[in-house]
A and B are shown apart, each in its own frame.
Chain A
Amino acid sequence: MLAFTLRRAVQAIGVMFAVGIIAFSMFRFAGDPINQIVSLDTPAAEREAVRKSLGLDDPVPVQFIRYFGDAAQFKFGVSYQFRQPVSALLMERLPATLELAICATVFAMVCGILMGVYSALRRDTVLAKLFQAVSLVGISLPTFLIGILLIYLFAVTLGWLPSFGRGEVVKLGWWTTGLLTLSGLKALIMPSITLGLFQMTLIMRLVRAEMLEVLRTDYIRFARARGLTTRAIHFGHALKNTLIPVITVAGLQFGSVIAFSIITETVFQWPGMGLLFVQAVQNVDIPIMAAYLLMVSLIFVTINLVVDILYTVVDPRLRATVGRAT
């Protein structure tokens, strides 16, 4: 088990190294960074001085090792547009994005699993068919459109919820949270739904399909032949078997929730990393783009690692194979 975790961790470091190469090469291929820093009429001698002070005249491998070493310590250089350390900018934005992503995922998991189980167990009811129809909408409508529709309905027409921003936030050390104020919570509702709707429909359809599959298996039939209560069969035996693929998908989707939050954050002007990234793209702010790339990959890789470990917790058969493989 420990060996398995270690091996996965080494693989994760390999992936991060590869991403680091890509992030670093962005600096080389997106034009001369000096042009981004200095103004148009800066004399050539001054440009060279800046180049030297930033170490940009060193050989490429030296620069790469320096970049990677810095990145490993969460130092991503200075933003071209804000003239501030990128890590400070990211750290300032991280709580907003994480809070949004976690709320969206919780919303997607809770609603998705409940709706999926319901529509599998009562698949001929009107409500189950309604869920199926809604899930089709959720899968096909693009995120930004859902966001704008929600804003139109709940912010513009009904005026119940704010149309943009995070509301009032409370500082807890370096972390800022909107979960402790009423305006913060209200501001969180629409972006979470917008961001989580796609995942929710995905999880709902997955749970429904898996649950129907599991209910047909022999061990469920045998559980019924043993006279177990319907509740024990559905929520004890069937649901646990259903959740294995759901863990995978939900875990991997958490990564894409963070990645997709770019759109949601733009629609709702949510002060998170996604919005920062969009602004960075518009201004060719490569240190931020590269750092964002590294951050998102780190989150993805970490989640994958956690999902792999979670598998073995849920499924005893994997514990055995993992033990044998190591």
Chain B
Amino acid sequence: MTEPILSVRNLQVEFASRRGTLRAIDGVSFDIAKGEVLGVVGESGAGKSVTGLAVIGLIDPPGRIAGGEIHLAGLRIDNLPPEEMRRIRGKRIGMIFQDPLTSLNPLYRVGDQIVETIRTHLNLSETAARRRAIDLLAEVGIPAPEKRIDGYPHEFSGGMRQRVVIALAICAEPELIIADEPTTALDVSVQAQIISLIKRLGRDHGTAVMLVTHDMGVIAETSDRVAVMYAGRVAEIGPVQDVVKNPLHPYAKGLMGAIPTLAGDDKRLMQIPGSMPRLSAIPRGCSFNPRCERAFDRCRVDRPEPLPRGTQSVACHLYDDVPAESAA
């Protein structure tokens, strides 16, 4: 396998609070290859967004990256000086946020915001940057881009604004796009358009995409691989069809069981009892053990490390000593 675009190793992110240090991310590792879409799922507070922010270097105090390494195409980026990291942001890593209604500065024309970003990263003249901005708007599917470029954000609908945000994220041809819940704030019909747009852009430009969402449907539709996060750790990671069809981690099983299907309307949906622990009260051993039906003594003492199992990798003691073939 060639070198991955993004490689995260044993990442730890901590937030200093009055009641001590909270560890939001604890030992997260994953890779994203060129042109690959990695979906990151989990409940609210599982650390999905924080992982994305850590990669792009936008963890603000009191938060900090406390350990681990992040490599972008071989270059270590988690300890770069702020000015060098700023040059990478927007140029080599693009980011799309959740709410397109608030992601654009309301006082500037969308064209000015795109031109400003292009000229920050690429050595282009004002007119060349404007031409490129029009091309970008056309590429993300905004009709009559040469007219719309002079519009203000409030003149665009939510879906159109998210397209502008995507145009801004890809305007310097980044190698990696981090999309943090890009469709959560949109209508269902618009969601599908945005998802297929992100997918198409990733394919056309060979861009690696880290897609953060809590919507399994979106993941199943777009991603090549999926990482299931729980309480700041990766519970399971693997190719999307394998994880969806044959989840190994009890938490992943619970998540997949909670997806409604069009066919199986006679069955009750599965539910995971309880809720995710607060960061200040993460249990010893496996952080999922209080909610896990299959927890045994070891789960309450030892923290499971992610171990490869077939195409997947899972952090669960159930698979410690069972041979790979018999795992169901």
Interface residues of A (CB under 8 A from B): 217-219, 221-230, 232, 236-237, 240-241, 314-317, 320
B97 contact set on A, CB distance < 8 A: 218, 221-222, 225
A320 contact set on B, CB distance < 8 A: 152, 154-155
A240 and chain B: residue at smallest CB distance: B107
B104 contact set on A, CB distance < 8 A: 219, 222
Can you list 27 pairs linking A and B with CB atoms under 8 Å apart? A218-B99, A219-B103, A221-B97, A222-B97, A222-B104, A222-B168, A224-B58, A225-B97, A225-B169, A226-B120, A227-B87, A227-B88, A227-B117, A227-B120, A228-B86, A228-B90, A228-B116, A229-B86, A232-B120, A237-B105, A237-B108, A241-B106, A241-B107, A315-B107, A317-B152, A320-B152, A320-B154
Interface check B121, CB cutoff 8 A: yes
A224 contact set on B, CB distance < 8 A: 58, 86, 89
Q: Is the CB of B56 within 8 A of A225?
A: yes
Shortest beta-carbon distance, A253 to chain B, in Å? 23
B103 and chain A: residue at smallest CB distance: A222
Q: Is the CB of A227 within 8 A of B90?
A: yes
Partner of B120, one of A218, A222, A228: A228
Interface of A is mostly: helix
Interface check B91, CB cutoff 8 A: yes
Q: Is the CB of A316 within 8 A of B152?
A: yes
A316→B102 CA distance, assembly (Å) = 15
Shortest beta-carbon distance, B179 to chain A, in Å? 11
Shortest beta-carbon distance, A217 to chain B, in Å? 7
Interface size in chain B (residues, C-beta < 8 A): 30
Known: A221-B97, A232-B120. A317 touches B154 (CB 8 A): yes
Known: A218-B102, A316-B152. A228 touches B107 (CB 8 A): no
Interface check B316, CB cutoff 8 A: no
Q: Is the CB of B90 within 8 A of A232?
A: no
A221→B109 CA distance, assembly (Å) = 18
Shortest beta-carbon distance, B112 to chain A, in Å? 10
B106 contact set on A, CB distance < 8 A: 219, 241, 315-317
Interface check B95, CB cutoff 8 A: yes
Interface check B165, CB cutoff 8 A: yes
Shortest beta-carbon distance, A219 to chain B, in Å? 4
A230 contact set on B, CB distance < 8 A: 86
B58 contact set on A, CB distance < 8 A: 221, 224-225
B120 contact set on A, CB distance < 8 A: 226-229, 232
A227→B84 CA distance, assembly (Å) = 10
Interface residues of B (CB under 8 A from A): 56, 58, 86-91, 94-95, 97, 99, 102-109, 116-117, 120-121, 152, 154-155, 165, 168-169
A237→B102 CA distance, assembly (Å) = 13
A278→B106 CA distance, assembly (Å) = 47
Among A222, A316, A320, the one with the most B-chain Cβ atoms within 10 Å of its Cβ is: A222
Q: Is the CB of B107 within 8 A of A226?
A: no
Q: Is the CB of B105 within 8 A of A241?
A: yes
Nearest 3 CB-CB pairings of A with B:
A227-B90, A227-B89, A225-B95
A225 contact set on B, CB distance < 8 A: 56, 58, 89-90, 94-95, 97, 169
A224→B169 CA distance, assembly (Å) = 11
Shortest beta-carbon distance, A238 to chain B, in Å? 9
Q: Is the CB of B102 within 8 A of A232?
A: no
Given A225-B94, A225-B95, A315-B106, 11 additional A-B pairs, CB 8 A: A217-B102, A218-B99, A219-B103, A224-B89, A227-B89, A227-B91, A227-B120, A228-B117, A237-B108, A241-B105, A316-B109
A237 contact set on B, CB distance < 8 A: 105, 108
Q: Is the CB of B103 within 8 A of A227?
A: no
Among B105, B116, B121, B168, the one with the most A-chain Cβ atoms within 10 Å of its Cβ is: B105
A219→B101 CA distance, assembly (Å) = 9
A229 contact set on B, CB distance < 8 A: 86, 120
A219 contact set on B, CB distance < 8 A: 102-106
Among A217, A221, A320, the one with the most B-chain Cβ atoms within 10 Å of its Cβ is: A221
A314 contact set on B, CB distance < 8 A: 107
A316→B152 CA distance, assembly (Å) = 7
B56 and chain A: residue at smallest CB distance: A225
